[in-house]
Structure 1
Amino acid sequence: MSSLQEKRPADPVVEEPTEVKKQHVEYPKGVAVLKAEYIIQTPVNDNRSNEYDDDEAEGGERSKGDGNNNNNGGGKKRRGQNKNRDLRQKKEEIRLCSTLLDPDNIKECNFGAEKCRNSHNVEEYLASKPADIDGVCPVYQAIGYCPTGLKCRWLKSHYVEGKLLRKEAQDIKQDEEVNKISHASKDLLRKKKYDFKIANQVIPYIDSQIQNEENLEKRKDNEASFVEAPFKVSEKKKLYLKDAKIVSPLTTVGNLPYRRLMKTLGADITYSEMALTIPMLQATAAEWALPKAHKSEYPGFGVQIATSKHYQAAKVTEAIYRETTSVSEINLNCGCPIDLLYRQGQGSALMDQPAKLIRILKSMNYSSGDIPITVKMRTGTKDNKNTAISLVDRIMKENDVAAITLHGRSRQQRYTREADWSYVGDVAKTVKEWNEKKLDDKEKSDTQPTWFIGNGDIYTHEDWYNAMAIDGVDSVMVARGALIKPWIFEEIEAQQYLDKSASERLDMLKTFSNFAIEHWGSDEYGVGLARRFMCEFLSFTHRYIPIGILERLPPKINQRPPLWRGRNEMETLLGSTDYKDWIKITEMFLGKTSPEFQFTPKHKSNSYEKS
């Protein structure tokens, strides 16, 4: 028996009832079976649906009108979505000039009080603010002062007799967020004056490798003039992913506060949300915010990018290498199923263009300095037509990546049906065979083996250990399982089901709330963003069915429960499918919702009106 098999638990903490085992009851497929006392009759006028739309868990919507509401790869219309969600937060009607945030440190306004678009009347501004939120400001509590000053929604906790409180110097914490690009560098990118010292050599070299007659002569010239990047693949930072607890790149919900929470709950590896190369080259602030990380994430933090062009990949990779300080790997997204990206040749579309994919990976490797390159993909783009093995075989032959992650579904499949772990095992075998060839090759024996990571439907410690028992699988990446059940890595470590109480789950949400305020700010705008992203988080966590009310184990990630009540009111509230209840939960930590706050759930089944 392998060591992994020895580690697996013999029995879960919560066993299914003996009488169920004896009766061999057959249950409907896809239905979570609950104990009878927790099931409630669905009212006739209750139009709630048990459908889940999980595209946002990998790739997800990016902005209004991004094409995410179009038909999917299977030609079927995606139903039940709230299309064209407007998630922009309204700003204050009276905005205080930033020069007046700290009464003890008033600065000179560049525009002057008369011409400034913001208010210079402090008393008028303070009178216009909504009532302060009860409790201590999370930012003041965390770092010893509050940078938002008079704009803080918890102002009374650190504003006494006209002065902002500030802790002693030794108690002040420095900024703990890393990977912030400088204003000067963003300005150079915006003006197209950034000096891509490596990429400008890499791009013509990669261009020359495109095999056709018209560039054979040019290829020879470029090969002769190309100066190799300073780091070879074998000289890059070493990744160690064996048995690592990995959180998948997650768009929208995989933000910095969420990742920071996951680090407190046992995660070893985290990834940024997917960043697009064109907005990064245009120095878009929102896109360059994605590589930001909390210092607790490094080492073990990866930046994921999506692109369709090797020259864009080379430039962005070099920019990340030069402008960030705490990146362990740069990951190429070859699995995103979004229609817009697919039509642009990005994400999973690269799986149908292996030559282009190889060029992109090479350009990234040559331009990333000492940061290793990894890749994440699906089984293929179409159902019943898996292409990952042939693609991985080609990637391994080129020796271009430090790790390969495979999500066991095709693009067309999206999240319908279970992940194909049998095929994941076949791909793992291919990677293992290539790693063994490397060891026998004297020229490549000094390179690090390529790690292979499986992904798909990991929701319990049993799922994780079953996947880890597959030959060639070095670790397992968790996506939706870590959104619905954030303590999944604690279960893996404990090797048993953990029946978390409602109060324990609320504590996790409180931690997320504090991290969110630290990240987005304690003013009205920051509170609005924190509330919005907590609602996005709750759109997954509400799907958790407490172990103690289940009639049968193990729970499955795609099982839908009948309408149920929890063991107490708070557990019932945490399981509500109504987004208005999610907002109610946010008010426990972020104060009463302002009239200006906007949130529309992604799926219509979460938007029903109570009778």
Structure 2
Amino acid sequence: MSDETLKRPVSPVQVEPEAKKQHTEGLVVATPQPKDDHFAKGIAPIKAEYLIPHVPGTHNTITFDDEEGLGDREDAGEEGSDKRGKGRGKKARGQNKKRDLAQHHETIRLCSTVLDPENVKECRFGASKCRNTHNVEEYLASKPADIEGICPVFRAIGYCPAGLKCRWLHSHYNKELNKLIKDLGVMEAAKQNNYEVNKADIQAKAELQRKKFDFAISNRVIPYLDSLVQKDLPKKSTQDKTKELMNAYVEAPFKPAEKKRLNLHRAKIVSPLTTVGNLPYRRLMKTLGADVTYSEMALAFPVVNGANAEWALPKAHLSEYPGFGVQIATAKHWQAVKATEALAKLTTHVSEINLNSGCPIDLLYRQGQGSALMEQPARMVRILNGMNMASGDIPVTLKIRTGTRDGHWNGAAVVKRVLNDTDVAAITMHGRSRQQRYSKEANWDYIGQVGEIVEAYNNDKEEDKDSAETRRVFFVGNGDCYNFEDWNQAVERKGVDSVMVARGALIKPWIFEEVEAGQYLDKSATERLDILRTYANFAIEHWGSDEYGIKQARRFMCEFLSFFHRYIPVGIMERMPAKLNQRPPMWKGRDDLETLLASTDYRDWIKITEMFLGKVGEDFHFTPKHKSNAYEPQA
């Protein structure tokens, strides 16, 4: 790391929550705590030698939004209150909902037909009419200087698909011979264990877009499910129609016991995470001990319509399988059935298809999706049964919350109905209601009560001789798991098979290493930097080593750092554990790198990406999702 990077002013690090502040002359000042109560509730216990005294007149008090939107679509969450962030010295709050995420393309772009000088292809537009240049010399002269080091893609798979557009071109290009270098040995090894899967066929997606795809199973299942919700026909007529459709329906070829086996007992599970839960992050988590990963939530309707953006979500790295699940959201059974059938037919490495019935955001809730399904259990049951009929040998699972309204939890009742009326392979419960969001701690007592319901159901099935073809239903808890102690306490509850970890795995990606070791691991700043390096390499392998790929990798790495920077090292803590809702006072690290990694300023996150992705260009832009991270630090 360069001296310039370490000398750059680093923003003050996190401090206590809003409840521990007082406002004086337009400034937000930390309220001093009595010596005998140095680490009051809500303040992380940091050793005195690492604390930085408050400097009046500086923005050294940072507030954070607890609502992370981890199960939400990008920027679709509710707007946080911004009223207290408009005065001098006050921090903005809420989300930057309208941030521009698009990156600029190169001024001079090289046509893909001339990427490899030895394998020039015919351009369908012709060199004279093509919007991109065919003049290699002109393009190479316009490129920014190469990034130092070896191309991560070339190192990983033995060649670089970006060809002449690669920003590490010098590492695999013989300029004198005008020839791209290829390592045949690495290429052969990469074919066996280093490639991405679940890439939908272009022709199949085109058929979906033109509504020509053969939904053979869906066309039989949907009319049957439709008959179950007909209300405008006389009762006798409705019953006759239902019987007719039931007789015409041919049962799906796979029974519950014949589907792929799931084993979530004590499994180390990473939650579906929108934006940050991309393929490079999930691949990183597999290297750090995760057993199960999930795609970002896909909306069923765009999946059925063959939208490229939605079909990018089921893509996974080979290392994720088995143990990779695809999560979908919908409010209509016909969408769920068709999306499930398409996923089953067009993907090759999917262990489960998960129905999201817990997403809390208004946009989906008003459409009847996400947590709104908990208020309509009959509809949820129809969707789950339809998915099971269309999923082939892929098991169907469910994720829910405790309920939608605080004090009116119906999660237990929903679970009972799902167990009795469907063939789901697993149920995950987030320990908060939709109304709570992240404002309160997850209710693990309630999760435990529901776990006992699932345990009793499984025991009854084992004793029932007529249910020999069924399998036990796994039950997973979710919420507030930030260390190995939280994980162990959760899985010791009766009926709870495992824990699905979300923010805990973003702030501390090595959490499953701690679970395995049964102790806190004091990762040094250098070790944490190596984790970021691995992520950067995976990101370049996924998005590409050209200018556009680097911009994508840098943007998503900044999204990752928006959580990663919140980690408080074990070595500076006075006692353990620290919870996520405990904000630290201003602190400094044990070295300059540790202080930099804890910076709350997004400009420092960009600076960190430069260590692996080269110097940032003037046309790159990044706006943090949360306004509290977008401020000018004081020198």
Instruction: Calculate the TM-score normalised by the size of structure 1.
Output: 0.93
Task: Select 1:184's aligned residue among 194, 200, 203.
Answer: 203
Structure 2 CA distance, aligned partners of 1:146 and 1:43?
51
Q: Please list, as runs of the form range in 1=range in 2, the aligned pairs for 1:59-78 lying within 5 A after superposition.
A: 59-62=71-74, 66=76, 68-69=78-79
Give per-residue Cα distances to partners, 1:397-438, cap 9 Å, x unaligned.
Answer: 114210000110111111111110000001101111111121
Partner of 2:119: 105
What's the RMSD between the two structures over aligned residues? 1.8
Q: Is the 8 A contact 2:78 2:362 kept in 1?
A: yes
Which of residues 567, 581, 597 is equivalent to 1:544? 567
> Does the Cα contact within 8 Å between 1:258 and 1:512 map onto a contact in 2?
yes
1:551 Cα offset (Å): 1.3
Residues 1:28 and 2:40 are matched in the alignment: yes
Q: Give me the whole-angstrom Cα distance separating, in 2, the residues matched to 1:42 and 1:114.
A: 64
Q: Deviations over 1:148-181 (max 9, x none)?
A: 0010011111111221111125644236100010
1:204 alignment counterpart: 223
Task: Report sequence identity in percent.
Answer: 63
- The CA distance in 1 between the partners of 2:573 and 2:80, in whole Å, is 37
Distance verdict in 2 for CA 1:223–1:312, change over 3 Å: same
Letter matched to residue 565 of structure 2: H
Task: Kindly report which structure 2 residues correspond to 1:282-301, keeping only aligned pairs within 5 A, or say none.
Answer: 282-301=305-324
Equivalent residue number for residue 150 of structure 1: 164
Deviation at 1:234, TM superposition (A): 2.1
Counterpart code for 2:207: L
Taking the aligned partners of 1:334 and 1:505, their CA distance within structure 2 comes to: 35
Match of 2:134? 120
Q: How far did 1:211 drift?
A: 6.2
1:445 is the counterpart of 2:468? yes
- 2:544 equivalent in structure 1: 521
CA distance in 2, matches of 1:483, 1:502: 16
Tell me which residue corresponds to 1:58. 70
SS of residue matched to 1:443: helix
**Partner residue in 1 for 2:150:** 136
Give the conservation status (yes or no) of the 8 Å contact 2:67–2:439.
Answer: no
Amino acid at match of 1:166: K
Distance in 1 (CA, whole Å) between partners of 2:394 and 2:66 is: 31
CA distance in structure 2 between the aligned counterparts of 1:383 and 1:168, rounded to whole angstroms: 60
Q: Is residue 57–residue 253 contact of structure 1 (8 Å, CA) maintained in 2? A: no
Secondary structure, aligned partner of 2:467: coil
Q: Which amino acid aligns with 1:182?
A: D
Distance 2:186 2:142 in 1: 35
Residues 73, 297 of structure 2: 8 Å contact kept: no
Q: Distance in 1 between matches of 2:254 and 2:203?
A: 26
- Unaligned runs of 5+ residues in structure 1 are 1-22, 72-77
C-alpha distance in 1, partners of 2:80/2:560?
Answer: 24
Quick one: which amino acid aligns to residue 38 of structure 1?
Y
8 Å contact kept, 1:378–1:409: yes
SS of the aligned residue for 1:88 comes to coil
Q: Partner letter of residue 245 of structure 1?
A: K
Q: Aligned partners of 1:52 and 1:320: how far apart in 2? A: 38
Q: Could you say what secondary structure the match of 1:593 adopts? A: coil
Q: Give the CA deviation at 1:26.
A: 6.9
User: In the alignment, is residue 358 of structure 1 matched against residue 381 of structure 2?
Assistant: yes
Q: 2:611 maps to which residue?
A: 588
Partner residue of 1:454 out of 458, 469, 477 = 477
Q: Tell me, which stretches of 5 or more residues in structure 2 are unaligned?
A: 1-34, 82-91
Distance 1:501 1:204, change over 3 A: same
Partner of 1:259 in structure 2? Answer: 282
Give the alignment partner of residue 520 of structure 2, picking from 497, 505, 514. 497
Report what 1:44 is aligned to: 56
Preserved CA contact (<8 Å) 2:110 2:133 = yes
AA partner of residue 172 (structure 2) = H
Q: TM-score, normalised by structure 2?
A: 0.89
Asked whether the equivalents of residues 324 and 349 of structure 2 are also in contact (C-alpha less than 8 Å), the reply is yes
- List aligned pairs for 1:460-475, cutoff 5 A: 460-475=483-498
Matched, 1:165 2:181: yes
Change beyond 3 A, Cα 1:170–1:85: closer
**Aligned partner letter, 2:418:** I
Give the 3-state SS of the residue equivalent to 2:325 in structure 1.
Answer: strand
Query: 1:548 corresponds to which letter in structure 2?
Result: G
2:453 aligned residue = 430
Deviation (angstroms), 1:55: 4.1
Contact 2:93 2:627 in 1 (8 A): no
Give the aligned partner of residue 276 of structure 1: 299
What's the secondary structure of 1:404's corresponding residue? strand
Residue 67 (structure 1) shift: 6.2
Residues 45 and 517 (structure 1), Cα distance of their counterparts in 2 relative to 1, 3 Å cut: farther
CA distance in 2, matches of 1:118, 1:460: 51
* 2:366 paired with 1:367: no
Q: How does 1:218-367 map onto structure 2 within 5 Å?
A: 218-367=241-390
- What's 2:88 paired with? none
For 2:161 and 2:578, locate their aligned partners in 1 and report how far apart those are by CA, in whole Å: 45
Cα distance in 2 for residues equivalent to 1:308 and 1:179: 25
Q: Within 1, Cα distance between the matches of 2:254 and 2:57?
A: 64
**Deviation of 1:89 (Å):** 1.1
Q: Secondary structure at the match of 1:486?
A: coil
Whichever residue aligns with residue 48 of structure 2, its letter is A
Q: 1:170 to 1:135 in 2, by over 3 A?
A: closer
Structure 1, residues 339-386: CA drift from partner, whole Å, max 9, x if none? 111111111111111111001101100000000000011101111111
Shift of 1:29: 1.7
1-structure distance, mates of 2:148, 2:121: 30
Shift of 1:57: 5.0
Give the Cα separation in 2 of the matches to 1:176 and 1:252.
21
Number of positions where the alignment pairs a residue of Structure 1 with one of Structure 2:
582
Asked if residue 384 in structure 1 is aligned to residue 419 in structure 2, the reply is no
Contact 1:56-1:252 at 8 Å conserved across structures: no
Q: Which residue of 2 aligns with 1:11?
A: none
**In 2, are the aligned partners of 1:50 and 1:561 still within 8 Å (CA)?**
no
Aligned 8 A contact 1:48 1:577 in 2: no
Q: 1:584: how far off?
A: 0.4
Residue deviations 1:65-91 (CA, integer Å, cap 9, x gap): x464389xxxxxx94322301111111
Aligned counterpart, 1:93: 107
CA pair 476-556 structure 1, distance change in 2 beyond 3 A = same
- 1:313-340 CA distance string (max 9 Å, x none): 0000001110000000000001111111
Partner residue, 1:18: none
The alignment partner of 2:457 has SS state of helix
Q: Structure 1 165/45 Cα, relative in aligned 2: closer, same or farther at 3 Å?
A: farther
Q: Secondary structure of the residue that 1:453 maps to in structure 2?
A: strand
Paired residues of 1:48 and 1:605 also in contact (CA < 8 A):
no
What is the rounded CA distance, in whole Å, between the counterparts of 2:355 and 2:310 in structure 1?
Answer: 16
